[in-house]
Structure 1
């Protein structure tokens, strides 16, 4: 009968966990999640050029039209102040700019950003100025449904 013989090659070493490699992996994951995390900005600070208006919400939202030139943005805040592309303007300056835009491009798109607390009359006044200059491609900007 044949009996296998066990050959002893030396002392058996206990398996070790490589702590340095484990620490490196943990630091790598920590750095990855720190870089990948987006930090939320405070909402009470307005960005420069942002209109001081709170848009009303709508139930249905259409996708914005990406083709063509950017629209001329007219803002109306809750006190009736007018804004043209983010800068405060008077009614006379707005009317002059609308007249120049209509002469240069009669099909120019106009977007009205009206605050949800703005008076309806202030929005109608802006619409009247646009229609007086024959700018009829007008849209109203709202917040999308949530």
Structure 2
């Protein structure tokens, strides 16, 4: 004996629910990828916030191969992105002065760094005979 369950209807795909799921996934991936930052760039940066200058000259060719010395807000020194002691900085400056005394020096001092720490780096540079010393600022 056969039981009649009603008219056979072809199965349908609910497009509205499918579109909602697609938009939900799209929004999820857009938000999830907007917070991701490349880790390689974060490691290369110095922990220095540069002070702003009122009038800074934009000269790309002013110091093409400048030796970058960084001073953070705690007074720690960085030479080309690597943490160094005062003695290591002094030894490196002495070696650079022997090789090329006309090499430009760029000091990246944090805006919250003590003035005395910046002056100490300037004294080291001048003691070794460097005359092309610049202070790096943000524009």
Report the TM-score, using the length of structure 1 for normalisation.
Answer: 0.66
Quick check: 1:119 aligned with 2:114? yes
Contact 1:80/1:122 (CA < 8 Å) preserved in 2?
A: yes
Structure 1 stretch 64-73 or stretch 129-138: which is displaced more? 64-73
Which of 76, 82, 90 matches 1:87? 82
* 2:22 corresponds to 1:54: no
CA distance in 1, matches of 2:71, 2:87: 15
CA distance in 2, matches of 1:69, 1:114: 19
| 1:70 CA drift (Å) | 1.4
Matching residue of 1:129: 124
Please say if residues 54 and 115 of structure 1, whose CA atoms lie closer than 8 Å, have aligned partners that are also in contact: yes
Match of 1:64 in 2: 59
> 1:78 pairs with 63, 68, 73, which one?
73
Aligned mate of 2:98, from 103, 109, 129: 103
Ranges in structure 1 where 5+ consecutive residues have no aligned partner: 1-38
For structure 2, the 5+ residue unaligned runs are: 1-33
- Conserved 8 A contact 1:76-1:115: yes
After superposition, the C-alpha distances for 1:57-94 in whole angstroms (9 at most, x for unaligned) are: 11112113326641000000000000000000000000
Instruction: Identify the range of structure 1 (63-72 vs 85-94) with the bigger mean alpha-carbon deviation.
Output: 63-72
| Bigger-Rg structure (1/2) | 1
After superposition, the CA RMSD in angstroms is 2.2
Which stretches of structure 1, 4 residues or more, deviate above 6 A after TM superposition?
Answer: none
TM-score by length of 2: 0.69
Deviation at 1:97, TM superposition (A): 0.5
Instruction: Give the distance between the partners of 1:118 and 1:68, measured in 2 at CA.
Output: 23
2:135 aligned with 1:140: yes
Counterpart position of 1:28 = none
Report how many aligned residue pairs link the two structures: 105
